Structure 1
Amino acid sequence: MNHFKGKQFQQDVIIVAVGYYLRYNLSYREVQEILYDRGINVSHTTIYRWVQEYGKLLYQIWKKKNKKSFYSWKMDETYIKIKGKWHYLYRAIDADGLTLDIWLRKKRDTQ
């Protein structure tokens, strides 16, 4: 069953947003600001709805993983076209293939 079918944002964005809220005890506006810094424009009320809808499910998955993902992860860099303009999409991925963090940039970051 795909819990994310029909959503405007991709599954990875929703998981990262809810994960920030649950893991770091941030406000919805703080999560909104973090995502905006990474090139994703989403409302704090949308993040609230995501937490209400997916929070319990993602928390159960996180508990089962037993924090294993924080020890082994890889960084993926992809060049994608958005509305006719090229951007760099960076993703941190754990050993199970789950997205830990995302970052969208117009220019390649060398740091």
Structure 2
Amino acid sequence: MHYPLEVMLVCVRWYAAYPLSFRHIEEMMAERGVLVDHATVHRWSIKILPVLAVVFRRRKRPVGTSWRMDKTYIKVSGQWKYLYRAVDRDGDTIDFLLRAKRDHAAARSFFEQAIGLHGVPEKITIDESGANTAAILSIRADSGADIEMRQSKYLNYIVEQDHRAVKRIVRPMLGFKSFRSARAMIAGIETMHMIRKGQMDCLEDQTSSAAAKFYTLAF
């Protein structure tokens, strides 16, 4: 961590924003006269990206009350894990959560986290997963929240398309070595994705680039 913060932020942003491996970033920094090992960039990412993701949550714009929720698959240590994600009707990201299992507990954890961040939605559109259905029904029963539940593959097309932006970045990584590193990296990737979609409340300069907004999270 003896490198200048600006150097570390450039490296972790590249990793979160583009389909690059850590060795690609090592080569790109060497071309700029900065010698840094790819393993060092990996350690920076694990330390820095989750912190910036927490800061971003405090500066995230409000989202709509009609949610589309789905899950996609992320390979960790050679095994498929489950990334729960949701977007609103306009395609803005509601929340995300990586879980080891695909069950009622995982789905409920995701919904509770999303509701804790954004409040109770009016509608949630899901696929025909029994676990997702059970999670919503249990939340409605326990909280008394009047949440309309819909099952529609057509309406969920928007979140399925949004998965691609995340998977495009993850694909060159060829899977994560541990669940801890996967959660840290995905937090950064999702944060950069939301910044690009204009979901960061940046009152001082709404016209600044996505890169500039990302860097402000560290200061």
- TM-score, normalised on structure 1? 0.51
Equivalent in the alignment of 1:42:
36
**Structure of greater Rg:** 2
**Structure 2: stretches of 5+ with no match in the other structure:** 61-194, 199-204
CA distances 1:52-102 after superposition (whole Å, capped 9, x unpaired): 1112123445674734689536xxxxxxxxxxxxxxxxxxx837974xxxx
Distance 1:32 1:59 in 2: 23
**Which of 19, 26, 31 is 2:13 aligned to?**
19
Q: Which structure carries more relative contact order (alpha carbon 8 Å, separation 6+)?
A: 2
User: Residues 96, 56 of structure 1: CA spacing in aligned structure 2 closer, same or farther, 3 A cutoff?
Assistant: closer
Query: Cα gap change, 1:39/1:54 in structure 2, threshold over 3 Å: closer, same or farther?
Result: same
Gaps of at least 5 residues in structure 1 are 1-6, 74-92, 99-111
Query: How far apart, in 1, do the equivalents of 2:212 and 2:7 lie?
Result: 15
Q: What SS is found at the alignment partner of 1:94?
A: helix
CA deviation vs aligned residue, 1:11-50 (integer Å, no higher than 9, x gap): 0011110111111131110011111111110000100111
* CA–CA distance in structure 1, aligned partners of residues 27 and 2 of structure 2: 19
SS at match of 1:16: helix
Number of equivalent positions: 74
Q: Runs of at least 4 residues of structure 1 off by over 4 A?
A: 60-65, 68-71, 95-98
Distance 1:9 1:95, change over 3 A: same
1:53 corresponds, among 47, 53, 68, to 47
More strand as a share of residues: 1
Aligned AA (2:208): S
CA distance in 2, matches of 1:41, 1:70: 34
1:52 is paired with a residue whose SS is helix
Q: Which residue does the alignment assign to 1:107?
A: none
Identity %: 26
1:94 correspondence with 2:212: yes
Counterpart contact for 1:70–1:94, Cα < 8 Å: no
Change (3 A) 1:62 1:38: farther
> Could you say which residue in structure 2 is the equivalent of 1:72?
208
